[in-house]
Amino acid sequence: MSHGLPTQPAASFVRRRRALGARLNGPALLFSGVARPRNYPANVYPFRPGSHFLYLTGAWLENAAVLVDGERDVLFVPAEDPEDVVWHGPSPGWDELQAATGVAEVRDIAELGQAFGGAGERIATIPAVDARTRFSQGRLLDRSWAEPGAAVELGERDAALADALVALRSVHDDAAIEMLRGAAEATVAAHRAGMAATRPGLREAHVRAAMEASLAARDMGTSYGSIVTVHGEILHSRGYGNPIAAGDLLLADVGASNGGWAGDVTRTWPVSGKFSPTQRALYDLVLAAQVAAIDRVKPGARYRDIHLAAGRVIARGLVDEGILKGDPDNLVERGAHALFFVHGLGHLLGLDVHDMEDLGDRAGYGPGRTRSTQFGLAFLRLDRDLEPGMAVTIEPGFYQIPALLEPGSKLSAPFDSDGTLNRDALAKFADVRGIRIEDDVLVTPGGNEVLTAALAKQAADVEALVGGC
């Protein structure tokens, strides 16, 4: 994504700003932020605008802000710096920007101070993600925010803006769905490229390179740091240096960023192209849990219930394999499934891969709902009642995490002592370190649509793609 104009019609952004304005009692100002330095100020990470700003304008602009105030929308942008033209080329003209975003007016962001000076506390805002913008924003709007990086307690006006943004952004409009479809399509292609590039004797880095190159060739990046590893039990593994060998499962959690909109897909495949019987058994179990969960995605369903239903499928399967003993419902109540399925079933998906997580649990948890403290459930990022237009991931998994399963560990000891956990049966599955299967699912009036359905998921279909080119 390069700098500049929205790629979708101005009407989409006008509609969003009007809808936001209708939910507010006063003006709101959202900032795009600035690029962050890697190792010195001029060497920056790839810029992406703040998601609230991007949602409301579609404009990929640095150091900009949008004022939503009834019909009087103003886009504030930096004045063109003659030297900057030499280094970065011409910027879009203000007329172009106005037409493409549908705002009433474009103004110089240097005028923000005089526009609001002294009356900033009347204007609702959300803290920018980058410290530099947040600092100047806090000064401009008279917010006494804490040190860089620390959590912010929103005041009443800002909290009302946050709630309005959550209400708006959690139910995707047609323009958003179009972008999510584009992200899903590119994500599917990246996973196919990764499967095709897999061969024993290479390193994880080789497969990651093939997957991200597939995105880069479409002029897309990733919406989060890719996980491509034979150590799937390290949930957010950050390295790509391990060799990949014939007996390994490779877990790839990679998603496209399509103009900021996120794809988020995980597949787990055998490096050799053929699952072992034990790998296949647990793969099919995770798949069964995923299919059962997706079947329950529909308007009115509570996401936490779907998470627990997936947990029951996992628990039942582990009982069938002799790894756990007991009644599946009871095992899930006691959290025994979370020895292996340690994280939440999924999260909201949108302009952020964990959509609106900059607002904490405000988006993921409805009013009156809070996170459980039970291990496993505590990691559940979403507990809403689903509505048409919401997009979620469904991503159950099975992991053998040494730190959790170590005999005598706080988590496993109770299940050892009462005979729930059969370590001899578990030992047969030593060639399964981690499996996750994840798709992106749109809630529709009649149920749901899997946006990433084009990607192989049945074990045999996955096997057929590995090492294919």
Closest CA to 365 of 348, 350, 353, 352: 348
Distance CA 233, CA 341 (A): 10
Contact segment (CB under 8 A) with its own copies among 13-21, 84-92, 109-117, 181-189 equals: 84-92
Nearer to its own copies (CB atom), residue 403 or residue 460: 403
Contact segment (CB under 8 A) with its own copies among 88-96, 165-173, 317-325, 442-450 equals: 88-96
Contact segment (CB under 8 A) with its own copies among 8-16, 289-297, 356-364, 445-453 equals: 356-364
Residues in 15-34 that interact with its own copies by CB under 8 A: 34
Whether 369 and 418 have beta carbons less than 8 Å apart is answered as: no
Structure tokens at 34: 């600035």
Nearer to its own copies (CB atom), residue 85 or residue 464: 85
Collapsing DSSP to helix, strand or coil, 348 comes out as strand
In the complex, what is the shortest distance from the CB of residue 13 to its own copies, in angstroms, rounded to a whole number? 18
Contact flag: residue 430 with its own copies (CB under 8 A):
no
**Helices 10-22/94-101 angle, 10° precision:** 70
Collapsing DSSP to helix, strand or coil, 166 comes out as helix
Residues in 234-263 that interact with its own copies by CB under 8 A: 234-241
Contact flag: residue 143 with its own copies (CB under 8 A):
no
Residues in 399-428 that interact with its own copies by CB under 8 A: 401, 403-404
Contact segment (CB under 8 A) with its own copies among 44-52, 63-71, 109-117, 390-398 equals: 44-52
Q: Which of 10, 159, 205, 425 binds its own copies (CB under 8 A)?
A: 205
- Quick one: how far is CA 206 from the chain centroid? 24
Site string for its own copies, 59-78 (x = CB under 8 A): --------------------
Within 8 A by CB and 6+ apart from 357, the residues are 347, 363, 364, 381
Q: Which of 74, 176, 210, 324 binds its own copies (CB under 8 A)?
A: 210
Within 8 A by CB and 6+ apart from 425, the residues are 321, 322, 323
Nearer to its own copies (CB atom), residue 85 or residue 454: 85
Distance CA 443, CA 297 (A): 7
Contact segment (CB under 8 A) with its own copies among 126-134, 155-163, 364-372, 453-461 equals: 126-134
Interface size with its own copies, residues (CB under 8 A)? 71
Cα-based torsion angle of the residue sequence 382, 386, 389, 391 in order, rounded to the nearest 10 degrees: 30
Contact flag: residue 2 with its own copies (CB under 8 A):
yes
Collapsing DSSP to helix, strand or coil, 165 comes out as helix
Give the single-character DSSP code of 404: H
Determine the longest span between alpha carbons in the chain, in angstroms.
74
Collapsing DSSP to helix, strand or coil, 69 comes out as coil
Contact flag: residue 36 with its own copies (CB under 8 A):
yes
Contact flag: residue 353 with its own copies (CB under 8 A):
yes
Q: Which of 37, 117, 201, 247 binds its own copies (CB under 8 A)?
A: 37
Structure tokens at 190: 């990246």
Contact segment (CB under 8 A) with its own copies among 178-186, 230-238, 323-331, 386-394 equals: 230-238
Nearer to its own copies (CB atom), residue 16 or residue 134: 134
Contact flag: residue 438 with its own copies (CB under 8 A):
no
Distance CA 59, CA 47 (A): 12
Closest CA to 20 of 55, 58, 63: 55
Contact flag: residue 43 with its own copies (CB under 8 A):
yes
Contact flag: residue 159 with its own copies (CB under 8 A):
no
